Amino acid sequence: MKFATTRIAAAVGLTLTLGLAAATAHAAPIVIKFSHVVAESTPKGQGALKFKELAEAALPGKVEVQVFPNSQLFGDGKEMEALLLGDVQIIAPSLAKFDRYTKKIQIFDLPFMFDDMDALDRFQSSPKGQELLDSMKSKGIKGLAYWHNGLKQLSTNKDKLTRPEDVKGLKFRIQSSDVLEAQFRQLGANPQKLAFSEVYQALQTGVVDGAENPWSNIYSQKFHEVQKTIAVTNHGALDYMVITNSGWWDGLPEDIRAGLQKAMAGATEHANKLAAEINDRDRQRIADAGKAKIQTLSKEDVAAWRTAMQPVWKKFEDQIGKDIIDAASASNQQ
């Protein structure tokens, strides 16, 4: 009798322990690491924080979003690999950093492809733009959204920067993109692919003479303190694709995936609304800092840059696809 009671007590104890363990396991939130390379004050930095806020509010106790800005967790040399290995769940690389995975996304790097951010937005929302979110599926990458930053400006450590001839022979830091490499070669300059976290030092020490960045990245990384002139070229776009590992995403419980999708839609709206405001603010802050001169350009100057860079389009037409180039061009005419 005593034996039976002990066994029952042990069984009850075991059940309780297992039940507790199951409850604890159930209660443990899914940790979602979101890594990026820019400051929190930028459009991407703000978008990532908004995603955390919305996801955790929509799925209380079920998910925990950990945001790592400023290449703290992974720099842009490693983040894609880390995503594929499952070491990070969400990243948002610039659209210039995908050419190892799909050539089609090179559309976004073509110089003077989009007249302004509205045109870029129209293309991203169009059926062709939306298709590109799925263009890396076979590589295990799923595009969740496009996020805006802004148009790129050219900067150098020289006083004169108004015409394409002014950059001949200069060294420029570029993102890891073959289109951007061709763009600078077309100008007779020397491009060098460098991770974003290395740019400030490369500019400061003269490893490179110049770079191309939107205002928010120039200001938040203090590039204006180590450049003499920033020409308002608006010659290309710097936007992002927020991506995840498709195996991880597809394996999430349905309710979690739906909640995250909704949070991503909200964060996208937030980041994209803020992007222009942040870039305008940071342009003004750079002007106020009085370190680098902001060189505005005449219509003729801009036309000269456009003409000088135009041959790049033809070089990449076959890789990108004429259908995509035509759809992007059409987004300018609305």
* Separation of alpha carbons 178 and 174, rounded Å: 9
Alpha helices in 141-253 (DSSP H): 178-186, 199-205, 215-220, 246-250
Token digits of residue 31: 């940790």
> Of 162 and 279, which has the nearer Cβ to ligand LMR?
279
Q: Which is nearer to ligand LMR, 37 or 292 (CB)?
A: 37
Phi/psi for 60 (5° steps) reads: -60, 130
Q: Does 38 bind ligand LMR (CB under 6 A)?
A: yes
* Cα separation, 130 vs 308, whole angstroms: 30
- Nearer to ligand LMR (CB atom), residue 221 or residue 295: 221
Closest CB to ligand LMR belongs to which residue? 94
Q: Is 124 in the site for ligand LMR (CB under 6 A)?
A: no
- Beta pairing class for 63-68 and 210-213: unpaired
Q: What is the residue whose two structure tokens read 């739906």?
A: 258
Distance CA 274, CA 50 (A): 12
Q: Which of 46, 89, 102, 175 binds ligand LMR (CB under 6 A)?
A: 175
Q: Please state whether 160 falls in left (phi above 0), alpha (psi between -120 and 50) or beta.
A: beta
Pick 221 or 229: Cβ nearer ligand LMR: 221
Residue 196 touching ligand LMR (CB under 6 A)? yes
Tokens of 42: 């930028």
Q: What is the DSSP letter of 29?
A: P
Counting contacts by CB under 6 A, is residue 149 touching ligand LMR? yes
* Residue 250 beta carbon to ligand LMR: minimum distance, rounded to whole angstroms: 26
3-state secondary structure of 31: strand
E strand or H helix at 79, and its extent? helix 79-85
* Between 230 and 256, CB nearer to ligand LMR: 230
Site string for ligand LMR, 77-116 (x = CB under 6 A): -----------------x----------------------
Binding mask 217-236 for ligand LMR (x = CB under 6 A): x-------------------
When asked if residue 183 is in the footprint of ligand LMR (CB under 6 A), the reply is no
Q: How far is the CB of 147 from ligand LMR (least distance, A)?
A: 10
Footprint on this chain of ligand LMR (rule: CB under 6 A): 37-38, 76, 94, 149, 175, 196, 213, 217, 238
